[in-house]
């Protein structure tokens, strides 16, 4: 008999979570203006809002916290983090930040100017926000296969080279400070980018003299998919794949709260001396001194250990296997999800799931609210709310997909929790035809509205 898969770790500590009644949840979400970000964590049973900073750390990471060097400048913990990042990526400069959006803020303060064009593969919310805040424009060059949930193309995060070259030809290097590759591509369903595509983007960008940067929040998961789905890399280690991947880039931003396996932190890594010097000044202004940049020494020590652990195949196999377990359960129940199943989350097609809810009434947000009321599960909308308004016309932008993302925290929930999530969604799916109305906005901020927007029933 073939032995079943088992996680390569055991659980040392647990945290109590509260199961509430449907009546309580209905009142709580109403009082939160139907925005799941406004809920208290104590009002949530299974929290899939994000996988950012919500996972469990290893015993070695907890031990690293105790050895952190809190010196203001030149700490031992910075040296440890620098050596780990340099070994993994090959980049010679490192600037720590308190999280990924801070890394974007620092780097984009150097590189992005008014009127610039930033092409890439489905820029995520804070990335697009930082670009548009500077009166620049993000252009999505993702391949068309990404927007067909039933297409099993293995690298739906890929950049369409024809789309990218058209942008390069139209605007030129004077207007394009860099091309941004997001690995994995969150907005297209946690989908990976192939090494072949990364190399091709690098070669095309070289022809036009345009640098290539990576949004690296889930770089290790992307490397795992390259190993599993790209024949030339099946015998390569994750660390070897990561090192090659970054050899095709000029720099990276990192939200360490994902594949860094920590609760807080981020960084910029790059090779260009001039960009490093300018970014150092912005780091000091926005974050802190260049050898801590918004992170405590203990957090840098835990991050260095986490980056090493996250780039081991056994950990990644456990991580991705749990997401596939949930995704396959939903497929079994007939629930429409983005396929192939992505790296950090399962993405549900809300337009197919709730066909009777008008597009203007936010179907993915409606589905998220229904799932919360059904079972106390908190997901997040990746749809019209997140797409925000066009900064010039102020009209709602309608993305090609309307998704509910269920982001799975790392080493946090068991497969019993996955079964609970799947059953809850099945219950909502069975009454989908009864759900005919969504929500409308009563208040919203000027940018990144989905975090704080207020809604009411339509």
Q: Is 349 a catalytic residue?
A: no
Task: Give 389's strand partners.
Answer: 396
Sheet strands (E) in 289-415? 345-349, 377-378, 380-382, 403-407
Calpha distance 381→391 (Å, rounded)? 20
Q: Is 72 a catalytic residue?
A: yes
Contact between residue 362 and residue 424 where contact means Cβ atoms under 8 Å apart: no
Write the CA distances from 26 to 31, 134, 437, integer angstroms: 9, 39, 16
Q: Is 160 a catalytic residue?
A: no
96 phi, psi to nearest 5 deg: -70, 150
Q: Is 215 a catalytic residue?
A: yes
Closest by CA position to 139, among listed 169, 110, 118, 170: 118
* Candidates 108, 124, 155, 233; catalytic one: 124
Q: Is 353 a catalytic residue?
A: no
Calpha distance 70→290 (Å, rounded)? 14
Calpha distance 439→442 (Å, rounded)? 10
* Candidates 51, 215, 299, 349; catalytic one: 215
State the alpha helices, DSSP H only, in 339-407: 350-353, 363-375, 384-387
Q: Is 315 a catalytic residue?
A: no
* Candidates 64, 136, 217, 220; catalytic one: 217
Q: Is 450 a catalytic residue?
A: yes
* Candidates 47, 51, 125, 299; catalytic one: 125
**Residue 3 region by backbone torsions, left for phi larger than 0, else alpha for psi between -120 and 50, else beta:** beta
Calpha distance 366→108 (Å, rounded)? 34
Calpha distance 134→330 (Å, rounded)? 41
* Candidates 258, 329, 344, 373; catalytic one: 258
Give 392's contacts (C-beta < 8 A, 6+ positions apart): none
Catalytic (active-site) positions? 72, 124-125, 215, 217, 258, 450
């Amino acid at each position: 008999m073939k032995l079943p898969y088992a996680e390569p770790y055991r659980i040392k500590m647990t945290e109590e979570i509260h199961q509430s009644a449907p009546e309580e949840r209905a009142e709580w979400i109403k009082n939160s203006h139907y925005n799941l970000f406004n809920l208290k964590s104590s009002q949530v049973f299974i929290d899939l809002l994000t996988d950012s900073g919500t996972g469990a750390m290893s015993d070695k990471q907890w031990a690293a916290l105790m050895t952190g060097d809190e010196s203001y400048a030149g700490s031992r913990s910075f040296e440890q983090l620098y050596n780990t990042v340099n070994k993994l990526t090959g980049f010679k400069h490192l600037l720590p930040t308190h999280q990924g959006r801070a890394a974007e803020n620092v780097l984009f303060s150097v590189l992005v100017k008014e009127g610039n064009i930033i092409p890439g593969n489905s820029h995520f919310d804070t990335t697009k926000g930082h670009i548009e805040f500077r009166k620049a424009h993000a252009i999505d060059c993702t391949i068309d296969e990404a927007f067909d949930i039933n297409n099993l193309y293995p690298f739906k995060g890929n950049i369409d080279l024809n789309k990218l070259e058209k942008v390069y030809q139209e605007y030129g290097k004077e207007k394009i400070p860099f091309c941004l590759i997001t690995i994995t591509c969150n907005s297209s369903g946690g989908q990976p980018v192939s090494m072949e595509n990364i190399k091709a983007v690098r070669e095309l960008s070289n022809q036009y003299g345009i640098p290539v940067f990576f949004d690296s929040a889930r770089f290790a998961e992307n490397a795992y998919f390259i190993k599993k789905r790209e024949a030339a890399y099946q015998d390569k280690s994750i660390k070897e794949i990561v090192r090659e991947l970054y050899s095709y880039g000029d720099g990276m931003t990192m939200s360490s709260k994902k594949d860094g396996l920590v609760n807080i932190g981020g960084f910029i890594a790059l090779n260009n001396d001039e960009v490093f010097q300018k970014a150092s000044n912005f780091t000091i202004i926005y974050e802190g001194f260049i050898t801590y940049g918004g992170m405590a020494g203990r957090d840098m020590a835990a991050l260095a250990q986490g980056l090493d652990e996250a780039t081991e195949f056994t950990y990644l196999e456990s991580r991705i296997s749990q997401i596939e377990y949930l995704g396959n359960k939903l497929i079994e129940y007939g629930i429409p999800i983005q396929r192939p199943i992505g790296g950090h989350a399962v993405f549900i097609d809300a337009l197919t799931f709730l066909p009777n809810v008008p597009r203007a009434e936010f179907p993915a947000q409606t589905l998220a609210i229904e799932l919360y009321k059904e079972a106390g599960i908190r997901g997040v909308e990746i749809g019209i709310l997140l797409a925000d308004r066009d900064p010039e016309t102020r009209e709602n932008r309608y993305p090609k997909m309307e998704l509910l993302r269920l982001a799975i925290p790392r080493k946090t929930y068991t497969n019993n929790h996955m079964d609970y999530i799947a059953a809850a969604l099945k219950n909502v799916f069975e009454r989908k035809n009864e759900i005919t109305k969504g929500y409308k906005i009563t208040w919203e901020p000027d940018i990144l509205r989905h975090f704080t927007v207020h809604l009411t029933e339509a």
